[in-house]
Amino acid sequence: MRDPETTLGSHTAPNQMTLDIITPMPGTVASLDSVPDPIFAAGTLGGGLAVVPDPDRDHVTLRAPVSGVLTRLMPHFFVIVTESGVPVLTHLGVDTGRLDGQGYSVHVKEGQHIRVGQRVTTYAPRELARLGFDPVVPVVAMRIAAVEGRMVPGEPCEPGDVLFRL
């Protein structure tokens, strides 16, 4: 894993902080409009990118894409609110709330301060696919329409890569 601490919170100009959103898992970058869920595809929740897990992995550990407070935690998604107040949603699969936690292992607690790159949850994308769920992982800066993509759809990624920037 690359060292995400070196990219988080870099300054581009006085009083103008940039926020790098780090790739939470290995896989392939995908655009939000390719996610088979109309809420994500339309950008209704905000801007971002998605990561498609490598098909040969039975289990994948997701790492925090930003530092902040874990304000919402369910087995299939989590929201971290950054120090600057930006909520960042990471959603593990499409329509996976119906699984009632099956195929997920949570490693942290809601309300906890999370460091970028910290292990948050592990899930079983191959099992999800066998059950008919798309295992894609959207990462969204909530209520922010436009983000600066640092990676392009189709590009392989590893935890710690800068996925997009605010």
- Cα angle, residue 1 at apex, residues 85 and 31 outer, rounded to 5°: 60
CA distance 67 to 114: 5
CA distance 141 to 139: 7
**pLDDT score, position 18:** 86
Contact indicator for 152, 19 with CB cutoff of 8 Å: no
Phi, psi of 146 (to 5 degrees): -115, 130
Contact indicator for 53, 153 with CB cutoff of 8 Å: no
**pLDDT score, position 11:** 30
**pLDDT score, position 15:** 41
**pLDDT score, position 17:** 66
pLDDT beneath 50: ranges in the chain: 1-15
CA distance 149 to 129: 27
- 59 belongs to the catalytic site: no
**pLDDT score, position 165:** 94
Residues whose CB falls within 8 Å of the CB of residue 4, separated by 6 or more in sequence, listed in order: 20, 22, 116, 117, 159, 160
Q: Which amino acid is at 17?
A: M
Q: Per the structure, how many domains does the chain have?
A: 1
What is the three-class DSSP state of 33?
helix
Q: Domain of 39: which CATH number?
A: 2.70.70.10
Burial (0-12, 13-18, 19+ Cβ within 10 Å), 33:
exposed
Range of the domain at 107: 4-165
Contact indicator for 158, 102 with CB cutoff of 8 Å: no
Residues 110-125: pLDDT tens digits?
A: 999 999 999 999 999 9
List 11, 59, 76, 91, catalytic entry: 91
